[in-house]
């Protein structure tokens, strides 16, 4: 994709010295974020395994609910591994030492069946032209989530068989060099950002083979050692109970404007308590993240404080956020041409070209 994108993005003014401090990366802060979800994965996985091992015909009335509860907690945490944990690691901002960014990106991407090469190629374009219909194939508005049906809730609180098969089909095809299948992205968009004969295409094929062969080897080892249940815990742990990802992540762009040069009108920020922020890698500060993508996620609360004079109000807590979202989603379902416009302070900001935003998002 080589076409020129001419978008003059609005940016809230911020003192250069403050911005310089906010852009500093920290290995310590990176470890404090990257390690806990993996520890939770190990703990909930162990509990699930232990509950399964102790499930018998004479205790199933109480042991089975404990097993399902352990798997629910396991999947809820692991569902954040792909597009959430890998998102920030793809920006290369969590760690000052790039080795650790790459190291944890590979771990999270492998466990989450995630393609970091194609995602990064797509995501920097998403930052460059956020929700602009001609250039952003990652987020196309209106999203029109079908959140009211029984099937939707069944899928997010358990798992989606069709979604699982779709992902596995994509990985098998990608490992063979076939990018005609829809996966995390639509095939048409992925072929635009990762064109044939490019180095990124070759890297994606190699990674797909590593993921497939690695998971097949693990699955075979689990079966041969009589521990087949670990396939559900390890190999498929990120494919079920994605409900909390939806609760945290749906607010990012839903119901907002497309084709606008103002991140405050096409992104949404909310604030929340520490635990959702941990799992969600602080992406509740979505306006701030898009406006200044080179700022590490752990500094986004401070960035919001520095820009607060020029930002729309943000609801606090997931409950308050969804109280705002549901009427917006209902209205847009009735009229897909309608979108929500938040009230903005009347300040004079700065401007940044699409190429500037691209450069910062792809550092």
Six-digit token pair at 217? 């080897």
Kindly state whether residue 347 falls inside one of the protein's structural domains: no
Asked if 211 and 218 count as a contact pair (C-beta separation under 8 A), the reply is no
Sign of CA dihedral 183, 105, 229, 244: negative
The tally of domains found in the chain comes to 1
Task: Report the DSSP beta bridge partners of residue 11.
Answer: 350
- From the list 250, 240, 255, the residue with the least C-alpha distance to 270 is 250
pLDDT at 148: 64
Q: State the residue range of the domain holding 202.
A: 22-143+152-341
Kindly state whether residue 280 falls inside one of the protein's structural domains: yes
Kindly state whether residue 276 falls inside one of the protein's structural domains: yes
State how far the Cα of 321 lies from the Cα of 319, in Å rounded to an integer.
5
pTM: 0.95
Instruction: Tell me how crowded residue 282 is: count the other CB atoms within 10 A of its CB.
Output: 20
Average pLDDT, the chain: 95
Q: How many CA atoms lie within 13 A of 74 on its CB side?
A: 28
Kindly state whether residue 265 falls inside one of the protein's structural domains: yes
Kindly state whether residue 218 falls inside one of the protein's structural domains: yes
* Residues of the chain falling short of pLDDT 50: none
Kindly state whether residue 93 falls inside one of the protein's structural domains: yes
- Note the pLDDT tens digit of each residue in 126-181: 999 999 999 999 999 987 666 667 788 888 999 999 999 999 999 999 999 999 99
Kindly state whether residue 310 falls inside one of the protein's structural domains: yes
Helix, strand, coil shares, percent, the chain, to 5: 60, 5, 35
Beta-carbon contacts of 44 under 8 Å, excluding residues fewer than 6 positions away, are 70, 73, 74, 77, 78
Six-digit token pair at 229? 């249940």
Asked if 169 and 182 count as a contact pair (C-beta separation under 8 A), the reply is no
Task: Report the DSSP beta bridge partners of residue 271.
Answer: 316
pLDDT at 145: 66
Kindly state whether residue 177 falls inside one of the protein's structural domains: yes
Beta-carbon contacts of 2 under 8 Å, excluding residues fewer than 6 positions away, are none
């Amino acid at each position: 994709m080589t076409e020129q994108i001419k978008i003059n993005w609005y940016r809230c003014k911020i003192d250069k010295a403050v911005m310089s401090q906010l852009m500093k990366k920290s290995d310590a802060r990176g470890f404090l974020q990257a390690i806990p979800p993996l520890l939770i994965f190990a703990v909930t996985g162990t509990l699930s395994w232990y509950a399964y091992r102790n499930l018998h015909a004479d205790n199933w009335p109480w042991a089975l609910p404990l097993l399902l509860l352990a798997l629910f907690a396991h999947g809820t945490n692991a569902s954040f591994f792909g597009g959430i944990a890998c998102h920030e690691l793809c920006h290369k901002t969590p760690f000052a030492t790039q080795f650790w960014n790459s190291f944890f990106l590979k771990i999270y991407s492998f466990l989450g069946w995630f393609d970091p090469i194609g995602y990064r190629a797509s995501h920097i374009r998403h930052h460059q032209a956020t929700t602009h219909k001609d250039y952003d194939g990652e987020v196309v508005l209106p999203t029109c989530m079908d959140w009211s049906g029984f099937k939707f809730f069944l899928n997010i609180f358990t798992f989606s068989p069709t979604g699982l098969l779709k992902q596995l089909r994509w990985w098998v095809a990608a490992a063979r060099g076939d990018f005609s299948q829809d996966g995390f992205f639509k095939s048409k968009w992925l072929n635009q950002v990762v064109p044939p004969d490019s180095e990124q295409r070759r890297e994606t094929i190699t990674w797909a083979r590593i993921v497939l062969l690695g998971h097949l080897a693990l699955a075979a080892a689990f079966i041969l050692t009589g521990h087949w249940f670990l396939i559900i815990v390890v190999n498929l742990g990120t494919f079920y109970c994605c409900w909390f990802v939806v609760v945290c992540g749906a607010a990012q762009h839903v119901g907002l404007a497309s084709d606008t040069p103002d991140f405050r009108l096409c992104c949404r920020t909310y604030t929340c308590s520490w635990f959702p922020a941990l799992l969600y890698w602080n992406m509740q500060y979505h306006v701030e993240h898009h406006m200044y993508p080179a700022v590490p996620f752990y500094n986004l609360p401070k960035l919001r404080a520095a820009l607060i004079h020029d930002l729309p109000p943000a609801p606090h807590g997931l409950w308050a956020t969804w109280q705002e979202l549901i009427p917006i989603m209902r209205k847009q379902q009735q009229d897909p041409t309608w979108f929500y416009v938040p009230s903005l302070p009347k300040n004079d900001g700065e401007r940044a070209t699409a190429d500037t935003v691209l450069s910062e998002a792809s550092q």
